[in-house]
Amino acid sequence: MPRTITHPALQPLKARFPDVKLQVGEFRDMVTVVVPRESIRAVAQFLRDEPSLRYDMLAELNGVDYLGYPGATHRFAVNYGLTSVPNNNRLWLKVFLDPTMETGPRTAPTDEEVMEKGDPGLKIESVTGVWPGAEWMEREVYDMYGIIFTGHPDLRRILTWSEFGSYPLRKDYPLRGVGEREDYKIVTREGA
């Protein structure tokens, strides 16, 4: 028999966003609210500013590639792990994204070109204005998955270089790489 999912944030969210299609799931006592891409900033702002909720800490932000995952209907997701320190509550938000362009290796624009040439299906509004600590986490998700956070104050790669051309945590990225080690300039002691 299905169980009713309860969480202190669900009723206020439904009351504040009656026209937004929010889906709720639960796994191991962790509640996840699936939010449409265009509503993530407003939902995040509400969860932080609502006096009865006060989700004042973004504890985690990560990306997921569902390529080849059994039963998956979307390609990518961004997960937001929220914590309400005063109320000792946790809540997960999830936004699904689907690419509209080729996702294979060597198809990525440089950091300077990403806003105009990046995949519009992988663009989502940044939450750095809500939680400033999201800045580096969003940069990591951009660098590893190619998810573009619009409105980010400094969206550039954080683990690879700007001309890398690929996103290494995508499932269609080759396990042996696409020649980065072979093409990388070797610096010797004599040449340094």
Task: Flag the least confident range among 121-125, 131-135, 156-160.
Answer: 156-160
Tell me the CATH class for 10-183.
alpha beta
Rounded to whole angstroms, the Cα distance separating 64 from 145 reads 8
- Residue 131: the pLDDT is 97
pTM of the model: 0.90
Q: In what order do the strands lie in the sheet with 57-65?
A: 23-27, 30-34, 89-97, 76-84, 57-65
Per-residue model confidence (pLDDT) at position 179? 66
Boundaries of every domain in the chain: 10-183
Q: What is the pLDDT of residues 8-37, one digit of tens each?
A: 999 999 999 999 999 999 999 899 999 999
Say if residues 78 and 95 touch (Cβ distance below 8 Å): yes
Percent of the chain with pLDDT over 90: 74
C-alpha closest to that of 118 among 140, 158, 148: 148
Residue listed under structure tokens 């407003």: 42
End-to-end CA distance of the chain: 68
**Minimal CA–CA distance to 97: which of 37, 169, 142?**
37
Q: What percent of the chain stands above pLDDT 70?
A: 94
Burial of 66 (0-12, 13-18, 19+ CB in 10 A): middle
